[in-house]
Amino acid sequence: MKLLIGVDGSAGSLAAVSLGGRLVSSDKDEVGLYYSPPKVDIQGGADTTEVLPTVHDLLAKAVFEKSSGQLSPPLRDQVHTIVGQKPARQGLVLAADQWRADMIAVGARGLGPIASIMMGSVAGSVAHAASVPVLVVR
């Protein structure tokens, strides 16, 4: 099985990595971690064309390091990482299709019905749009 897990460093995404890591075997399964860096606005006249890729790379490295720490050492050593260019709700589904994942796991923030309507829910959007099963972890 190929399991793609959406990560962002939050407690919910770390729980998804932890549970996902228990569902797979390092002998026959693959784990991928997907991260979509947030838009970063740099003020002060800096040339953002050179700075932004470095900022995104550092953010991704930190999130992947923290997230992969939830996996057992054999899985941690062979984890596949994907840095997305689109918002997570779209990018995670596209990455799952391109990587040919068998399942997607995401953490739920538990915003409640009103907040999720106003802010949107990545977990809900992924669950509705994905062509593979989606595990939502609280």
Could you state, in order of their start, the residue ranges of all structural domains in the chain? 2-137
Label residue 47 by pLDDT band (50, 70, 90): low
Label residue 54 by pLDDT band (50, 70, 90): confident
The three-state secondary structure class of 34 is strand
Give the per-residue pLDDT at 50: 75
The CATH H-level (homologous superfamily) assignment of domain 2-137 is HUPs (3.40.50.620)
Residue 79 has pLDDT above 60, yes or no: yes
What is d(CA 54, CA 22) in angstroms, rounded to the nearest whole number? 33
What is d(CA 138, CA 123) in angstroms, rounded to the nearest whole number? 10
> Comparing 19 with 41, which gets the higher pLDDT?
19
What is d(CA 16, CA 13) in angstroms, rounded to the nearest whole number? 5
> Comparing 77 with 49, which gets the higher pLDDT?
77
Mean pLDDT of the chain: 89
What is d(CA 138, CA 110) in angstroms, rounded to the nearest whole number? 7
Residues 9, 66 contacting (CB under 8 angstroms): yes
Q: Which pTM was predicted? A: 0.89
- Number of Cβ atoms within 10 Å of the Cβ of 27: 6
Label residue 25 by pLDDT band (50, 70, 90): very high
Taking CA 23 as the corner, what is the angle to CA 4 and CA 93, rounded to the nearest 5 degrees? 20
Token pair in block for residue 90: 């779209």
Residue 117 has pLDDT above 50, yes or no: no
